[in-house]
Amino acid sequence: MKNLRLTLAIIAGKILIYISRLLGHQGTSFPGRIARKIYPRILRTLSPNIRREIVVITGTNGKTTTSNMLAEILKQQGYSLVHNRLGANMLSGITTAFIEKSDIHGSRKFDYALLETDEATVPLLLRETRPRLVLITNFFQDQLDRYGEMDHTIKLIQEAVKEQEIEMLLNADDPLTANFQAETGLKCWYYGFDDSSYDDSRSMDSREARYCAFCGHQLEYEKYHYAQLGQYSCPRCHSRNPERDFTGQELEMSPDIELKVDGIALKSPYQGFHNAYNILAAVSLARLLGVEDENIKKAIASFQPQAGRMEAFFINGKRVVLALVKNPAALNQTLASLIYDPGRKNLFFALNDNAADGRDISWIWDADVELLEYENVMVEQIVCSGQRSGDIALRFKYAGFPQERIRIEEELPRAIELAVQGSAESSYILCSYTALFGCQRILREMQKRSGTGEEAEKAYQAQS
């Protein structure tokens, strides 16, 4: 009876994945939700099919990009894997990923499982799977109406991993991860950056980690990489950045990323310091898993931004970049990346407040939107759309951007067309989560009308 219910759950899930994608949807969560109703133990049953390791990747920002980069690295090494690559990171989405890869009997084996998961889902996931490695990218303020204060989220994860046979890979530059080893008793590996030319002695970002995780005293920073990530110490208990096991060095962004990780020279088409951290995290985890350096270099060089993570489109000879922004740190880093793009550009922002976006959009006032005032950003026009288009337009106005160059357009296709038109050499399409796939679909259609992606990219390169 058990095997029959498992088979029925897998077949039902596979059919729903097929139908969902046939209808133009992602097919990531609903199939897993229905399969779990048919056979609630499906994830517990399928997860032991992983021969080598189950790896969990969580954190506020960068987990989808980091997990996708690591997947590319493991594929380059020749490994097979289960991976919820589209970022459906609740139990239902993870279950769908296993169903999609499984045979109907639930017996197919794989080398690795890369499971990106929402921070609040970590305790639930650990009840149904047995990972050996857990990577935490960072902790930032994010959707307080859904998750509450960060202290609660951090404690939730710490309690979940205690007394488990787990090793953790953590960001040494984030003070919010500094006490994980002391609190959990687990083996913790750390990655972080050396000094770079992009560091600052002051941070204009909204900074969450003002206080020492050990004694509660206010921290002192020698320098910031971005937001609260940087070189810090506590004047009372003398705690400081944990000693790094993996180090990012010689960072260059022009706007693509070049860096070294413990001597391995890497190039990536991604942009921004936040994505440099994602590369460093993925490479650090790959080295922990024993991947060869040459395969790491090839995978990072060839992996293109996707799913709204600085994903590039080429439309009528222009480069158009799609970026998901969901909290102050993400918006700050996306706007900062505009500085390293030397041309004139248009900006678009679709802001929604559905449940998946977070109902509370007050975070836009915590972001350093005043970056747009800098002359080297060179933004010519801003087009605002989405359910809260008026709110984001007002935010840009109060940031000092000229009101006559801010436009509100409710209709999404028309709004994106306006952002791509004009004399600007590139356009940046920013959006909250529930607008992401709609924006992506519109941009793909526009790129298709202007020629294949490869042809359009060549046209852009010829003009650059």
What is the end-to-end Cα distance of the chain in Å, rounded? 64
* Range 390-426 burial, b when 16+ CB lie within 10 A, else e: ebbbbbbeebebeeeebbebeebeebbbbbbeeebbb
Specify whether the CB–CB gap between 132 and 167 falls below 8 A.
Answer: yes
Catalytic site includes residue 360: yes
* Catalytic residue selected from 103, 151, 256, 360: 360
User: Catalytic site residues?
Assistant: 360
